[in-house]
A = this chain, B = another copy of it.
């Protein structure tokens, strides 16, 4: 006779040790499903539920994104893309600050909230406040029928599927994707095109899930580094442009999961203060923009790597395949597939998620249920 042991939790985790690991691997699907059905038979972009007349959307003269935590970093990424595509000014505000500071908004302001659960109390209060002030509200949300989408004028659901791990991963990628879809929708509505067309960018977005899949297949070395670094006291993260919020997100994941003092900076800030922290052995992740980036940004970040390495930092560099300029100054190079600069965050964040997951595991911590944190923050 033999015993059958059946672990319901393991089954739920689809063979992975933790929900977070499972959810990291579901990211290609989260992005693909969030893109699914976003174009009609004529190739026009469509939103899920839109109760704002098209003329009112065309009249929008400012976008304010309200969110908290990881969702606010998705908003920061989206700001770069949406401003670029629509030429509308986009502000990103922490929902709990927005609510309490007499924001200047009116009927021509589109307030976009981002919340995985749709129940984040700070974000809900910000949406209600925006409505009182006459703004149009769009909810980007992962949970059908939750409070924030119900109270908003329009909804764009992220189709990431249920996210169980407290630290957000696939919902983050889906939030960026949905924000991009919204940006492209507004671009089409406004009949403007700045650089590439909305259709071209959508086509490139469709190719992202395969690139994430490919990237996930190359994470062995990141896992190894995380195990080596299990006793790190602090880790810094640098990025510029869309890489700046990714640096912030990489740091937040490490705080949440490994209780390590981690901080993300705009690389340009380094010389204005934080470089004082660099001492021999200090690990620093650097999110390098594509060599195709405009304004010579790539070269500027390569200089930043050089500067911190000259002061003894251990540089962990996330760079595009084929970017050889970073090699002389990198202790480790983590490669991501090539893509256009504005879509790169959907790739560059992945190694940072995997790093935080394995460093937390190496420290013997509970990856899915970090101390002090709740999945949805339903109180103010």
Contact = CB atoms under 8 A, between A and B. Distances in A.
Contacts of A273: 69-70, 252, 255-256, 373
Contact of A80 (B101, B233, B266): B101
A240 B372 contact: no
B295 A100 contact: yes
How many copies of this kind of chain does the complex include? 2
Contacts of A278: 372
Contact of A276 (B83, B256, B272, B276): B256
A228 to B, nearest CB: 20
A104 B89 CA distance: 6
Nearest to A97: B266
A377 B104 contact: no
Interface centre among A240, A261, A276, A278 (most CB of B within 10 A): A276
Interface residues of A, number: 61
A308 to B, nearest CB: 9
Interface in A207-240: 233-234, 240
A102 interface: yes
A94 interface: yes
B263 A276 contact: no
Interface in A244-280: 244, 252, 255-257, 259, 261, 263, 266-269, 271-279
Contact of A272 (B69, B261, B263, B300): B69
B96 A268 contact: yes
A122 interface: yes
Interface in A129-154: none
Given A97-B240, A101-B241, A261-B263, 13 more contacts: A68-B272, A69-B273, A83-B101, A96-B267, A97-B266, A100-B241, A252-B273, A255-B274, A255-B277, A259-B276, A259-B277, A261-B277, A275-B372
A232 to B, nearest CB: 11
12 contacts: A62-B89, A68-B269, A68-B272, A69-B269, A69-B272, A80-B101, A96-B267, A100-B294, A252-B274, A255-B276, A273-B373, A276-B370
A297 B96 CA distance: 10
